[in-house]
Amino acid sequence: MIGVRGGARTVTVTRRRGGDSTRAKDSLAVEEPLEIRLAWKDADGRARMEPLAVTMRTPGDDFELVAGFLHGEGVVTDTAQLAEMTYCRGGEAQEYNIVEARLSSGVAPDMERLRRNFYTTSSCGVCGKASLDAVAARGCRVLPPGPRVDSALLPELPERLREAQAVFAKTGGLHGAGLFTPDGDAVGVREDVGRHNAVDKVLGRAFLDRALPATERILVVSGRASFELVQKAVTAGVPMLVAVGAPSTLAVDLASRFQQTLVGFARNGGFNVYCGEERVA
């Protein structure tokens, strides 16, 4: 991580244009692994720690990423359940690529459910209905009505997100996620090489600020709308998700089930509303 500033690193490249060759400096988005470890005390008071997940991310806002990930997976539902987050204290070479999340006394994770969830989301043969039912089983509820958002604002939101992406402006290689007010003001924007990580970071910040459920916010993402992104938004109580790209069929099914407004292809002055059109004024 030496020499890394703001999630970008400068390298020397050879540029070829029209038969000419020149040496120049270029900025690249940094990508490194982050291991999330979960620590708690079991019913007998014994200290437990297990690795929970590894994600490839852009270093920075790591604690927000972990908080958002744990909330999105249903490990914690309140900040009081999360006692502490630290980088690895074991003196390992990759200490800044390992975050240990310690749960508060009396809070114990359902590791079997978590292992099953991580297995099924990365394997074949799991039906869409089972995925939808799993979100409902975690306690997610139908989203409340409102807010109403001016239709003229929706195609502008991805550009407003882009304007707040400082590292993308340097590298062109990062996804963005932002929470906006119904009037289009940015509340928080985060960047990462992974779409899911960018969402975890921005929702993790809201979680740590005790600003969830975000029932008066719009989540804007720079890429497509997948099932996982809708799931994270529903879990955080976000009533509207706006994406630059297309949603998947399961993303639309999940948004419809929880009465979330899902907007895709928000660009060039237009957009598609896949469900929840009642929030579009």
Alpha helices in the chain (DSSP H): 62-72, 111-120, 128-137, 157-163, 166-171, 195-208, 227-235, 249-257
Query: Is 124 in the active site?
Result: yes
- 138 CB-near residues (< 8 Å, 6+ apart): 74, 235
Q: Which residue has the tokens 């490249």?
A: 13
Give the active site residue among 124, 127, 140, 275: 124
- 193 CB-near residues (< 8 Å, 6+ apart): 29, 30, 31, 56, 57, 58, 173, 174, 175
Question: Do residues 234 and 211 make contact, with C-beta atoms less than 8 angstroms apart?
Answer: no
State the Cα angle at 193 between 175 and 265, rounded to 5°.
Answer: 25
Backbone angles phi, psi at 36, to 5 degrees: -100, 120
How distant, in Å, are the alpha carbons of 11, 39, 155 from that of 274?
Answer: 42, 40, 15
Residue 56 structure tokens: 């490839």
User: What one-character DSSP code corresponds to residue 247?
Assistant: B
- The residue among 231, 155, 167 whose CA lies nearest residue 196 is 231
Q: Is 172 left (phi over 0), alpha (psi -120 to 50) or beta?
A: left
From first CA to last CA, the distance across the chain in angstroms is: 47
Active site residues: 124
